[in-house]
Structure 1
Amino acid sequence: MLSVAEARARILSAFSALPAETIALPDALGRVLAEPVVARLTQPPFDAAAMDGWAVRAADVAKADPAHPVPLRRIGESAAGHAFSGIVRAGEAVRIFTGAPLPGGANAVVMQEDCEADETIVRVGRAVAAGRHIRPAGFDFAERQELLPAGRRLTARDVALAAGANVPWLSVRRRPRVAVLATGDEIALPGDPLGPSQIVSTNALGLCALVATQGGVAHNLGIARDTADSVAAMAAGAVGCDLLVTTGGAAQGDYDLVRDVLTDNGVALDVHTIAMRPGKALMFGRAGAVPLLGLPGNPVSTGVTAVLFLRPILRVLQGLPPDETQGPQRARLATALKANDRREDYLRAALSTDADGALVATPFSRQDSAITSLYAQADCLIVRPAHAPAAAAGEMVGIVPLSGGALNL
């Protein structure tokens, strides 16, 4: 049996980043940059007020205090989008608002709370140093400065930054196109009439949703029945995609036809037995020109293997490292666990925090790979290496978070 690490390494070595394409900024959320975002202007483009108040010469108010306010002649106003065009000279002040350009001659802003004004005179009751309450030109960033690096998945904050840098178009990696094919006479689409031996298909819709969360575009090919002709015809719908993912038919039973049908069509497939639980049988190869990843048909096995194998493929296709974090993530174990056997175990668990803010993982008492309701409630997978000894409550264990993806604030 292959280890999970070895199987992942073999599979991921077959993929590289997709070509770049140019998109409009409003479509950029969740996309991965192929080229850096470089500022097309300086921000702010001028010295700007950081407070509502009065633009003054610091020397004119150097001796001001509440008991001895300094009177200055008000000569105008500077508001956002409406700069004062004159020059502040000795004994003068300009009413100014946050974000407005600092008038020529002024070198400080006194907060409005420290002043009293009528229509002609402002009385300044606090001294300020030169530069006080001013954001100098380029305080945020300068023209031609790199703001976001290539290989970054764009968040809502990144989109706002690119907009502020006056960048209307971005070069990003093309979104992976993933065809998803469920197989089996026993499954029917949600809402369709169920035969006496049928169950509702969950895997294809779950896989399509996972592809979307990771920034890909999913194409649901439907359900292939347990005949060679049906499997071949449905799999042909993956032409033009970057990956075909099948669910079911990866084992070696009499009705597991995916391997045999695709092999008969001259496709090289590796059928691996992975030393993991849940999930064991896994296929990888090519269906014509399209890479194929065959996942098990058991619902939780499908979900867990998709997290461990499909999710990193999608990240690599977008020019990202296979995992969101460098190195294993860890949490404190809430309950004791028995020793593990030769298969790497992925236990569904809930995450919480203790009084010190540390992560605590609580494995569910039932771990059967058919229990989809608990898998939906899980926050992470606790990783139990092969032959791991018994673990006591409070020990640190490795975890695989089930959160994260393309849509990040």
Structure 2
Amino acid sequence: MPLLPVADAQARVLALAAPLPVEQVPLADAAHRYAAADVPALRTQPASDLSAMDGYAIRHADLGRPLRLIGESAAGRPFTGAVRVGETVRIFTGATMPAGADCVLVQEEARAEGGVIHLAGEGPAAPGRNVRRRGLDFTDGDVLIPAGAAITPARLAVAAIGGHATLPLRARVRVAIAATGDELVSAGQRIGAGQLPESNGVMLAAMLSPLGADIVDLGILPDRADALEAAFRAVDADVLVTTGGASVGDHDLVRPALEAAGAAIDFWRIALRPGKPMMAGRLGSTVVLGLPGNPVSAFVTAELFVKPLVRHLAGAADPFPGVVTIPLGEDLPANTERTDYLRAELRGGAAFASTIQDSSMLRTLARSTCLIVRPPHAPVACEGDSAEILMIA
């Protein structure tokens, strides 16, 4: 059976589940999630003309003549009267412009003598200068955050100033993570002969938590069909991610254990390097992604499949990782039939692939800042040629 192309596999993973239900979430809990609908402004900002500078609110037609100071306008304490011919109001940045005034004389260009203000510079060149007009930022009904957009700190701020206390978001994605393998022990424990510290769980949790996912740590599961089946049957999550046991060896029991628990496997094995023996399917309402146990392969498949699935369930408009085009800093050999993701670093605006690309080299991944994407059967690439890269740091 031919290997499934990466793009086809990505599309099939997303097709396994629709975005989660919508809930209203307080702003304080909304960061790093995605808008489930357009978020409109509930008010106009600014709600009235405001001063953009400290100085004096004046009529531009009065520029150059002595002006009688009749009051003060500060943020939250507007002047309630009106500026008439020959009058001015002391005003501060962010304060409401008084009726009658159409510009602001900045304080560096004004001289006060008693209760009279004189021009001491060029003054505002035209009406409207140094004024933030009503609705300059947005008006009531404008879309502040489009559906599917990530809720960034800046978007939280615009939602708040736009009149919102809550936002319509998809429910938080619950992701259960299970490492499998008799050779694994928890990080920090004494290592016996043939044993290895488990590293995928903490890595995957760190990759998914910034997306707003709730992590359920299932720990290390043994290479026993009955134990794996029981653990999989008990999972209560939107996504189950397993690492290890997904290949074809005698001890690779994850796929048969999932099927024994009632899972339907959608596909297995991808035209991808590293990460070929990845599988995907459903176990009841849970999407199952079985990643390779090799940490580098688990990292790459998580970038390409797990993170996009979590974003999709959370309502992201574009859940897939973005790629950018960067010149290569060195020659690269021709590629074979699988899409290759080369660990690399950006230096001086160019991408340099790590010398050793063996998927067991986790330290190489730790110092990489990007992955160079080499399409199937890509010809030899030369230094300076453009290449697509996926940023990972």
Name the TM-score, length of structure 2 as normaliser.
0.94
CA distance, structure 2, for counterparts of residue 119 and residue 158 of structure 1: 46
Residue 127 of structure 1: how far off its partner (Å): 4.8
Separation (CA, whole Å) in 2 of partners of 1:322 and 1:87: 54
C-alpha distance in 2 between matches for 1:136 and 1:275: 57
Match of 2:138 among 141, 148, 154: 141
Q: Does 1:93 align with 2:80?
A: no
| 1:117 to 1:317, Cα distance in 2 relative to 1, 3 A | same
Contact 2:213 2:310 in 1 (8 A): yes
Identity between Structure 1 and Structure 2 (%)? 45
1:252/1:116 CA distance change after superposition, 3 Å: same
Is 2:270 aligned against 1:263? no
User: How do 1:345-384 residues align onto structure 2 when only pairs under 5 Å count?
Assistant: 345-354=340-349, 360-384=350-374
Match of 2:73 in 1: 78
**Gapped regions of structure 1 (runs ≥ 5):** 65-69, 355-359, 404-409
Cα deviation for residue 198 of structure 1 reads 0.8
Alignment gaps of 5+ in structure 2: none
CA distance in 2, matches of 1:367, 1:255: 26
Q: 1:181, 1:235 within 8 Å by CA — same for their partners in 2?
A: no
Residue correspondence of structure 1 range 46-57 to structure 2 within 5 A = 46-57=48-59
- CA offsets per residue over residues 184-223 of structure 1, 9 Å max, x none? 0100111223222211000111111111133322111111
Residue pair 1:177, 1:243 contacting (<8 A) in 2 also: yes
Quick check: 216-225 or 287-296, which moved more?
A: 287-296
Count, aligned residues: 388
CA-atom RMSD in angstroms: 1.7
Per mean C-alpha deviation after superposition, the further-off stretch among 133-142 and 295-304 is 133-142
Structure 1 residues 266 and 108: CA distance shift in structure 2, 3 A? closer
CA apart distance, 1:233: 2.7
2:217 aligned with 1:215: no
Q: Give the aligned partner of residue 11 of structure 1.
A: 13
Q: Which residue of 2 aligns with 1:277?
A: 273
Aligned partners of 1:222 and 1:234 also within 8 Å: no
- Distance in 2, Cα, partners of 1:132 & 1:329: 41
Code of the aligned partner of 1:205: V
1:293 equivalenced with 2:283 (yes/no): no
Alignment of 1:300-315 (within 5 A): 300-315=296-311
Q: Give the alignment's TM-score, normalised by structure 1.
A: 0.90
Deviation string 1:214-256 (CA, Å, 9 cap, x unpaired) is 33221111110011222123223422x1110100010111111
**Matched AA of 1:247:** T
Equivalent in 194, 197, 221 of residue 197 of structure 1: 194
Which residue identity is paired with 2:19? Answer: A
Q: Match of 1:160?
A: 157
Q: Which runs of 4+ in 1 moved over 6 A?
A: none
- Give the Cα separation in 2 of the matches to 1:44 and 1:311: 38
* Contact 1:299–1:372 (8 Å) recurs in 2: yes
CA contact (8 A) 1:87 1:103 kept: yes
